[in-house]
Amino acid sequence: MARRSLATTAATAATIAAVGLCVVEESANAAQSAPHAMSRQEANGLVYTRAEAREKVNSGAVDYYSKEYGVSRREAIERLTTQGVVPNLQVRLGKALGDDLAGLFFDNETGEWVVQVADKESSAAAEGFLERLGLDGHSSLEWVGYTQC
């Protein structure tokens, strides 16, 4: 397993921040694992049920979202719930998919997460991971052929 030194990690993070790119690092001394090697327990850590995520939705956020995106309060609550089910979704997907993760965004028109994968073969792994996180039915996959991060 490869390890990065604190100086190397800090220099890399500073360079990436300076040019506006994305980076996913858990810690300077964390061992780098192989893509797709995340266990179910790791994948499900800190995942909320929809009911738990719904309880955390702020009424001010609901008002703002409803007005900003022209949806009912009920739909705003559902979309904010979908966003809140998995804290740090990008980090989790990065660990699970490695270089196959090309991008991630929440589509406010459809109310679902859009996971972009750089490799068609990684779609099945991404789909399975999203299902384990409870996001099946609340996400879609796109094959883009390149990465944004």
CA dihedral for 113, 116, 122, 124, sign (positive or negative):
positive
47, 51, 57, 112 from 76: Cα distances, Å: 20, 15, 10, 12
User: Which residue carries 């719904």 as its tokens?
Assistant: 54
The 10 Å Cβ neighbour count of residue 73 is 13
State the Cα–Cα distance between residues 92 and 3, nearest whole angstrom: 19
State the Cα–Cα distance between residues 11 and 30, nearest whole angstrom: 16
| pLDDT single digits (tens) 108-135 | 999 999 999 988 788 889 999 999 988 9
| Tokens encoding 59 | 């009424």
Q: What is the pTM of this model?
A: 0.66
| pLDDT single digits (tens) 65-111 | 999 999 999 999 999 999 999 988 999 899 889 989 999 999 999 99
